């Protein structure tokens, strides 16, 4: 198993180099000149323009620019944003915010989602099943930003249960409401996935055997059915952690959480290469690690799965 993990980790290296190159090329291909954006409507003397282009290596061919970027990366230098800040500093502060938000949402959708799924799946077509089915349909149907603004208005502004915006109250208080909103759509998927998987497994032979042995309903559910049913749910949750981090931009904007979503949006707008590549590379890393963890978890959930 350790050989397997090491091999997977080694495979990440070429994937990473490939993605940084792709993203670098994509940013480079964006129309426009970042230095002109810096100047805006104000006049920028040619001497200043040239100095800035030189400073950000924009006066060099693309391949040299990318080479210098990679060389810096090897030395732990992520480059500079167009306002002269170290990208690594930006990553540190912004990633911690987004990671907290995504984790809050993820824990919420996992705990509540699986619980709802189990509740609904115990009896197909029962009251619980109908309630969960219609409830989740509603949540999926409402766009996230509508949910976000309504929750902010109702629970933040009118009732005052949660802070309306910002991170002043720290984790978890500041992150609870945005986390719940962010996780709510995927919560619906988790609940339905758990429910369907449970319902299916209840029909299988080994469950019938367990019931015939005279085991309690509870034991059949927890020991025999649920564990097996969680494999698709775990796959979904693993990949979802990555997409949660990448998909926080709307929520971050509404709840004023200074995370990577707003940062990468602004960076793309002004064509700030090093920032975009830095953030996106870390996103790729999160995806890769989440996938690895999911693959290892399969073995834990289903002992028949072996790693070479």
Q: Answer yes or no whether residue 90 interacts with another protein by CB under 8 A.
A: yes
For residues 266 and 16, what is the distance between their CA atoms, to the nearest angstrom?
23
Between 27 and 110, name the residue whose CB sits nearer to another protein. Answer: 27
Between 178 and 238, name the residue whose CB sits nearer to another protein. Answer: 178
Within 185-214, which residues bind another protein (CB under 8 A)? none
- Choosing from 111, 131, 157, 300, the residue that interacts with another protein (CB under 8 A) is 157
Q: Answer yes or no whether residue 257 interacts with another protein by CB under 8 A.
A: yes
Least separation in angstroms between CB 131 and another protein? 22
Q: Write out the H or E segment, with its range, that includes residue 77.
A: none
For residues 148 and 130, what is the distance between their CA atoms, to the nearest angstrom?
26
Q: Answer yes or no whether residue 34 interacts with another protein by CB under 8 A.
A: yes
Q: Answer yes or no whether residue 72 interacts with another protein by CB under 8 A.
A: no
User: Which DSSP string do the residues of 146-173 spell out, in sequence order?
Assistant: HHHHHHIIIIIIIS-SS-SSSSTT-TTH
User: Which DSSP string do the residues of 7-44 spell out, in sequence order?
Assistant: HHHHHHHHHHHHHHHHHHHHHHHSSS-HHHHHHTTS--
Q: DSSP label at 258?
A: -
Q: In terms of Cα–Cα distance, which of 220, 230, 223, 224 is closest to 195?
A: 230
- Choosing from 163, 238, 273, 274, the residue that interacts with another protein (CB under 8 A) is 163
Least separation in angstroms between CB 105 and another protein? 17
Instruction: Indicate if the alpha-carbon torsion angle 115, 145, 264, 96 is positive or negative.
Output: negative
Q: Answer yes or no whether residue 93 interacts with another protein by CB under 8 A.
A: yes
Q: Answer yes or no whether residue 42 interacts with another protein by CB under 8 A.
A: yes
Q: Answer yes or no whether residue 33 interacts with another protein by CB under 8 A.
A: yes
For residues 210 and 304, what is the distance between their CA atoms, to the nearest angstrom?
19
Please, are residues 239 and 109 in contact by the beta-carbon 8 Å criterion? no
Within 44-63, which residues bind another protein (CB under 8 A)? 44-48, 50-52, 55
- Choosing from 39, 72, 135, 299, the residue that interacts with another protein (CB under 8 A) is 39
Q: Answer yes or no whether residue 111 interacts with another protein by CB under 8 A.
A: no
Q: 143 has which bridge partners?
A: none
Q: Write out the H or E segment, with its range, that includes residue 125.
A: none
For residues 100 and 179, what is the distance between their CA atoms, to the nearest angstrom?
9
Q: Which part of the chain contacts another protein (CB under 8 A), choosing from 79-87, 116-124, 126-134, 297-305?
A: 79-87
Q: Answer yes or no whether residue 169 interacts with another protein by CB under 8 A.
A: yes
Q: Answer yes or no whether residue 83 interacts with another protein by CB under 8 A.
A: yes
- Choosing from 65, 136, 152, 225, the residue that interacts with another protein (CB under 8 A) is 152
State the first-to-last Cα distance of the chain, in angstroms, to the nearest integer.
Answer: 7
Contact set with another protein (CB under 8 A): 30-34, 36-48, 50-52, 55, 83-85, 89-90, 93-94, 97, 152, 156-157, 160-173, 176, 252-258, 262-263, 269-271
């Amino acid at each position: 198993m350790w050989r397997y993990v090491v091999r997977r980790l080694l495979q990440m290296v070429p994937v990473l180099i490939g993605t940084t190159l792709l993203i670098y090329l994509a940013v480079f291909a964006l129309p426009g000149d970042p230095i002109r954006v810096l100047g805006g409507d104000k006049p920028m003397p040619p001497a200043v323009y040239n100095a800035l282009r030189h400073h950000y290596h924009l006066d060099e061919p693309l391949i040299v620019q990318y080479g210098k970027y990679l060389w810096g990366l090897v030395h732990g230098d992520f480059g500079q944003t167009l306002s002269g800040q170290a990208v690594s500093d930006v990553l540190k502060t912004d990633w911690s915010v987004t990671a907290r938000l995504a984790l809050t949402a993820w824990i919420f959708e996992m705990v509540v989602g699986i619980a709802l799924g189990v509740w609904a799946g115990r009896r197909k077509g029962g009251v619980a099943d109908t309630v969960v089915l219609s409830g989740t349909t509603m949540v999926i149907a409402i766009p996230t930003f509508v949910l976000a603004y309504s929750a902010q208005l109702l629970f933040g502004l009118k009732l005052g249960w949660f802070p309306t915006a910002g991170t002043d109250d720290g984790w978890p208080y500041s992150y609870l409401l945005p986390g719940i909103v962010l996780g709510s759509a995927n919560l619906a998927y988790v609940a339905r996935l758990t429910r369907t998987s449970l319902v299916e497994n209840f029909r299988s032979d080994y469950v019938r055997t367990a019931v015939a042995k005279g085991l309690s309903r509870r034991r059949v559910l927890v020991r025999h059915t649920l564990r097996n049913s969680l494999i698709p749910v775990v796959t979904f949750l693993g990949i979802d952690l990555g997409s949660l981090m990448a998909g926080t931009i709307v929520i971050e904007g509404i709840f004023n959480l200074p995370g990577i979503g707003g940062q990468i949006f602004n960076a793309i707008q002004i064509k700030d290469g090093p920032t975009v590549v830095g953030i996106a590379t870390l996103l790729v890393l999160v995806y890769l690690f989440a996938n690895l963890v999911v693959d290892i978890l399969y073995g834990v959930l289903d002992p028949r799965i072996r790693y070479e």
